[in-house]
Amino acid sequence: MLYHAKNGTVKMENGTMDYIRFGSGPRTLVILPGLGDGLRTVKGTALPMAIMYRMFAQDFTVYAFSRKNELPEGYSTQNMAHDLAEVLDLLKIPQADVLGVSMGGMIAQHLAIDHPEKVGKLILAVTCARPNDILTGSIDEWVSCARRNDPAAFMDSNLRRIYSADYYRKNKWLAPVVGRLTKPKSYDRFFIQAEACRTHDACDRLHEIQSPVLVIGGEKDLALGGDASREIAAHIPGAQLKMYDQWGHGLYEEAADFSPLVLDFLRK
């Protein structure tokens, strides 16, 4: 199969977690996706993910992990990090480099703090160490759309807050179609993860991170703001910071040099 792409589900002590794997490199890279996991897990996305991140397939065996399928009310980003540590043990992955995107970056912070032996290098992309007004506004807007069962408005808000103004202008007409196609049977999983984002706070412990860290942010990030990335970098000793002037929250898809930037950091 192309890039050795594989979909899988691992059985945990208290539930199951979907994951994908691709690549055949000697090192391990773990990718943690954002809040979109609340709508759909990574199950079935092995091939498109492998194509999107194909640049890593030779150097790394790449895993992307969802949150576990059985999320109770009040579950935190720290709880999710502990779940990930358990799954890494079950899959016999003693240590991995970690790329956490958005909410995935929140989970990655706790993983690096509470389970430092499991994290090699750490990339925190378009994420935050604690809530701010921009993040709270985004979460409130998305939750409101979901609660009134308006998938078109939900998707329009996502496109507007995540992607560049040019991308939104060209593609906003897709919001009703994509909204209907991606609407989950229930938003419960999304609500739990949204609340975990709203209550995430690792700021006072960021100085405990021992891994080499690259922080990546966008000055035009309408989902949580560019200052969130600067705050993280300021609290982690020795962290590198890359800010994109022209991109927002979706820079991991829109910036052509995002994957080369991450790969260069990992190879050094």
In this predicted model, what pLDDT tens digit does every residue of 228-264 receive, in sequence order?
999 999 999 999 999 999 999 999 999 999 999 999 9
The span from the CA of 237 to the CA of 143, in Å, is 35
Please indicate, yes or no, if residue 160 is contained in any of the structural domains: no
What is the reported pLDDT for 182? Answer: 85
What is the reported pLDDT for 178? Answer: 87
Nearest to 80 by CA among 196, 228, 235: 196
Judged by average pLDDT, the poorest of 10-19, 94-103, 169-178 is 169-178
Percent of the chain's residues with pLDDT above 90 = 94
Q: How confident is the model at residue 179 (pLDDT cuts 50, 70, 90)?
A: confident
What is the reported pLDDT for 1? Answer: 56
Average pLDDT of 173-201?
93
- What angle in degrees, to the nearest 10, is found between the helix axes of 188-199 and 133-147? 170
Q: What is the dihedral of CA 10, 266, 124, 243, to 10 degrees?
A: -150
The span from the CA of 191 to the CA of 142, in Å, is 9
Please indicate, yes or no, if residue 173 is contained in any of the structural domains: no
Please indicate, yes or no, if residue 216 is contained in any of the structural domains: yes
Please indicate, yes or no, if residue 176 is contained in any of the structural domains: no
The answer to whether the predicted template modeling score (pTM) of the entire model surpasses 0.85 is: yes
Average pLDDT of 63-68?
98
Number of domains observed in the structure of the chain: 1
Please indicate, yes or no, if residue 196 is contained in any of the structural domains: no
Please indicate, yes or no, if residue 56 is contained in any of the structural domains: yes
Average pLDDT of 79-108?
98
CATH number for the domain harbouring residue 261: 3.40.50.1820
Q: Which amino acid is at 87?
A: V
Please indicate, yes or no, if residue 159 is contained in any of the structural domains: no
Average model confidence (pLDDT) across the chain: 96
Percent of the chain's residues with pLDDT above 70 = 99
Segments forming the whole domain that contains residue 209 = 2-130+201-267
